[in-house]
Amino acid sequence: MAGLLESRYVHLPVAMMLGVMVACAWPTSGAIPEPLGGTFIGLVRIIVAPIVFCTIASGIT
């Protein structure tokens, strides 16, 4: 039983079910961290362009 509780195959469905239950209980709680998520996506977009450029440039040379 201890091995089953440590398995990632068990953790993932349990975490998904907990997320659904929290979303059903508090539907407006997802709007609070929205600016933080938008900032994160913007930073990822800023980082991706130089990484792609460097990858292509190093592949050419």
pLDDT, one tens digit per residue, over 28-59 is 877 777 888 899 999 999 999 999 999 999 99
Structural domain tally of the chain?
1
Domain that holds residue 15: 2-60
Name the pTM for this structure.
0.48
pLDDT confidence of residue 2: 62
State the chain's maximal CA–CA distance in angstroms.
Answer: 55
Residue-wise pLDDT tens digits, 15-30: 999 999 998 998 887 7
Q: Do residues 48 and 42 make contact, with C-beta atoms less than 8 angstroms apart?
A: no
Distance CA 50, CA 52 (A): 5
Query: Tokens for 45?
Result: 């977009």
Buried b (16+ CB within 10 A) or exposed e, 4-31: eeeeeeeeeeeeeeeeeeeeeeeeeeee
pLDDT confidence of residue 44: 95
